[in-house]
A and B are shown apart, each in its own frame.
Chain A
Amino acid sequence: MKPTGAVDERITHALQLMESVVWAFHGTTQATWRMGPLESADVLVFHEGNTDERIAQWKSQGRPIVEIAVRSRLDSDTPNLLVYPFRAAQVLVLLDRLETQLTGSFAALAPSASAIAPDSSHQDQWSFVEGLRDLRSVQNSEAWLVGRSAHAPVLWLRGDAATYTAEPVTVQAIRRGALNPNSLTLAKGSAPTGGQAPRSGMELSWFTGYHASDRLAPALTLSASYRISSWPNFGLIRPLPSQLRVVAGLSSAAADLREIIKRAGVTAEEATRTLNALYACGVLVGVSPDEAGGTVSTNTRRRAGLAKLLANVRKHLGLGTRS
């Protein structure tokens, strides 16, 4: 639903961006999407501030909507909110989520950041991770969200997901995967007042992504190739050797899941969970088949020599013993 009168220029740009991204993703999403008239639409896309009465009517029928905003918001009643300037990848995830919704698989629907597990009966294993990703894209560092478990606050998350604060026991539970973050009720609140030092949001993203599932995140696919755009801070994360090998491989050349398993010599579950963690951290980048592959040497004699040397160094220093 395009604006009919004079509106903020950013709204016009935002709607144009949405249209361009839908066009660019044509043929790459689960369903084939195109922009069209309201009469034949499955999903209504409109901008905030649009008071057209057909929007309320559409909403009342429970039909899917996408609302485009030009300012950061943390309200809880907008399921599919895109805040301009949004990334193409956000639209891609949103389109696949809408496809799931339209085909009736509501149970698998990942809510947006604004609806992080508000209702325990609709918990989804990826909702917290997707929420963190959305918060990072919104970049609202002024706001704080408070995560409550059984009405007691256990976690304070800055609005841009760059830092969080929790008691040491909660941090350890998050790192071990003993705390289900989707069970937390997140709501806007005040900044933490306790003496706990702020911790990196990357840590929260890594561990909640890693423990979310032993299957690939909904936004990832088996056949796609991925690389990393930057390394997570492993000084904080303290990775397992297998995780380190997966990430090092993806820093060198793009690969799909099968190739990652082969290259890094890890189990399918370890590779999958590490990919999920990288996705949660927002450092995983999908690449086209043309870009995949890369720089790995084919000189087997030299590679064998290198492997022997590195194995000896590892043995000498006692490295790589955790798996």
Chain B
Amino acid sequence: MFTGPMGAGKTTAIRAISDAPPVSTEVANTDQATYAKPTTTVALDYGQLLLEDGTAVSLYGTPGQQRFSFMWEILCRGAIGVILLLDGSTANARQELQSYAEAFRRIDPGQPFVIGIGRVPPGDCLLDECARALGSRGIVAPVFGVDVRQREDVLLLIETLLCVLEAHGLEADHAAH
């Protein structure tokens, strides 16, 4: 599952790897004050990886607006893992990280998650600060600087999630349907 605030790149990330054209519930963005972009997701994005053995791995993207946060829990339960995307150029990236991390820890404390932060200015200490902030809450989660417009960056997040899943030895039957 891909989650994060509006404009972080969830739809872009799913498009980068989905085999089938992703289903998207994009509508005109009426909240230009929060993030200036033409459209935004209001229900969910949906993509798929169609594996060789017939397994379909579903890729979900949550809506970014706080008022749709009830969707997070619906989508999060049963997800094999969560990739949290944040926009490092916004002033409230740190608060958003804290808010999302706490929300997902509350929904499923054992669920692995990986954090990708985009648009981090060169030399900025945001990533270190975020990793430390999580560590102080006892959360040792990967925090990487990424550009989800680049497919290899999305793949890095997924590969990391897979490695964390392996390390945690989580149940396979959550993963596919």
A binding-site residues for B, Cβ under 8 Å: 162-163, 197-200, 202, 227-231, 233-236, 238, 241, 244-245, 247-249, 251-253, 263, 295-297, 299, 302-310, 312-320
How many Å lie between the Cα of A238 and that of B153 in the bound state? Answer: 9
- Neighbouring B residues of A253 by C-beta, 8 Å: 167
Q: Is the CB–CB distance between A303 and B17 below 8 Å?
A: no
Task: Give the CA-CA distance A248 to B156 in the complex, in Å.
Answer: 13
Please report the C-alpha to C-alpha distance between residue A305 and residue B160 in the assembled complex, in whole angstroms: 19
Q: Are A245 and B166 in contact (CB under 8 A)?
A: yes
Could you tell me if B164 and A248 are in contact, using CB atoms closer than 8 angstroms?
A: yes
- Is the Cβ of A200 less than 8 Å from the Cβ of B57? no
List A contacts of B103 (CB < 8 A). none
Distance (Å) between the CB of B119 and the closest chain A CB? 12
A197 to B170, CA, bound (A): 41
- The range of chain B's interface size is 35 or more
Cβ-defined contact, B52 with A252, below 8 A: no
Chain A residues within 8 Å of B175, by CB: 306, 309
Beta-carbon contacts under 8 Å, B154-168 to A: 155-156, 158-160, 162-168
Q: Which listed residue (B127, B131, B144, B162) contacts A310, Cβ 8 A? A: B162
CB distance from B60 to the nearest CB of A (A): 15
| B residues in contact with A304, CB < 8 Å | 172
Ordered by A's residue number, 23 sampled pairs between the chains whose C-beta atoms are within 8 Å are: A162-B125, A197-B123, A200-B123, A202-B128, A228-B140, A230-B135, A231-B140, A233-B131, A233-B143, A235-B146, A238-B156, A244-B163, A248-B160, A252-B167, A296-B169, A297-B171, A304-B172, A306-B172, A309-B175, A310-B166, A314-B159, A317-B49, A319-B162
Q: Is A230's CB under 8 angstroms from B143's CB?
A: yes
| B140, A297: Cβ atoms closer than 8 Å | no
B159:A244 contact, CB within 8 angstroms: yes
Cα A312 to Cα B142 in complex, Å, equals: 23
Q: How far is the CA of A309 from the CA of B156 in the complex (A)?
A: 18
B22 within 8 A of A: no
Closest 5 CB pairs of A and B: A198-B123, A297-B169, A305-B172, A235-B144, A248-B163
Bitwise, B38-74 to A at CB < 8 A (1) or not (0) is 0000000000011111010100000000000000000
